[in-house]
């Protein structure tokens, strides 16, 4: 008999029954196969509620993805802007801004929700970007990357 899983004991019983059904390998469309599918959904629902781990820390999510894909700090430069910025983010000295979050999500597949949670982990808008961050991926009129160029488009402090 299938019933909602409300306690740890119910959870253990359901997992035991799932093990029995999987060992029997019931053919698709049979009552046992349907029971297995329903129990799997019930266990999944209970585990999400009982063992909710929430979202990971943004820096830990980046480090995990680096480990998963065998990436080095240098591989993060296109997503975070510069080697020093990579170091600052991984050392938690600089928060991930919106542009960085977008590039990490699109390039490495890290869920955007990781960066969008509260707590000041994310700066929004161009006002929160440094002048160097505003130039990432842009070219100066001479055709060189804007960050590597010393043309007048780079902001310089006014002479006093």
Confidence class of residue 153 from pLDDT cuts 50, 70 and 90? low
Enumerate the domain spans of the chain: 8-50, 58-124, 125-155
Q: Which of 89-123 are b and which e, b meaning 16 or more Cβ less than 10 Å from the residue's Cβ?
A: bbeeebbbbbbbbebbbeebebeeebbbeeeebbb
Average pLDDT of the residues of the chain: 82
> Over the Cα atoms of the chain, what is R_g?
25
Q: What is the pLDDT of residue 121?
A: 46
Q: What is the pLDDT of residue 127?
A: 45
Instruction: Please say if the pLDDT value at position 140 is more than 70.
Output: no
CATH of domain 58-124: 1.10.260
CB 76 within 8 A of CB 86: yes
Residues whose CB is less than 8 angstroms from the CB of residue 129 and which lie 6 or more positions away in sequence, other chains included: 97, 99, 123
Q: What is the mean pLDDT of residues 72-82?
A: 95
130 Ramachandran zone, left/alpha/beta (phi>0; psi -120 to 50): beta
pTM of the entire predicted model: 0.48
Structure tokens at 112: 């955007």
Confidence class of residue 119 from pLDDT cuts 50, 70 and 90? very low
Confidence class of residue 152 from pLDDT cuts 50, 70 and 90? low
Q: What is the pLDDT of residue 99?
A: 92
Instruction: Please say if the pLDDT value at position 124 is more than 50.
Output: no
């Amino acid at each position: 008999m299938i019933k909602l899983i409300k306690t740890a004991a119910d959870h253990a019983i359901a997992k035991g029954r799932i093990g029995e059904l999987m060992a029997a390998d019931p053919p698709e469309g049979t009552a046992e196969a349907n029971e297995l599918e329903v129990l799997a959904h019930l266990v999944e629902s209970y585990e999400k509620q009982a063992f909710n781990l929430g979202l990971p820390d943004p820096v830990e999510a980046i480090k995990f993805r680096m480990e998963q894909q065998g990436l080095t700090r240098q591989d993060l430069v296109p997503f975070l802007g510069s080697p020093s910025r990579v170091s600052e983010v991984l050392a938690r000295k600089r928060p991930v801004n919106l542009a960085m979050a977008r590039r990490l999500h699109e390039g490495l597949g890290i869920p955007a929700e990781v960066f969008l949670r509260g707590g000041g982990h994310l700066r929004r808008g161009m006002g929160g970007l440094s002048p160097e961050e505003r130039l990432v991926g842009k070219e100066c009129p001479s055709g060189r990357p804007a960050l590597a160029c010393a043309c007048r488009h780079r902001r310089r402090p006014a002479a006093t």
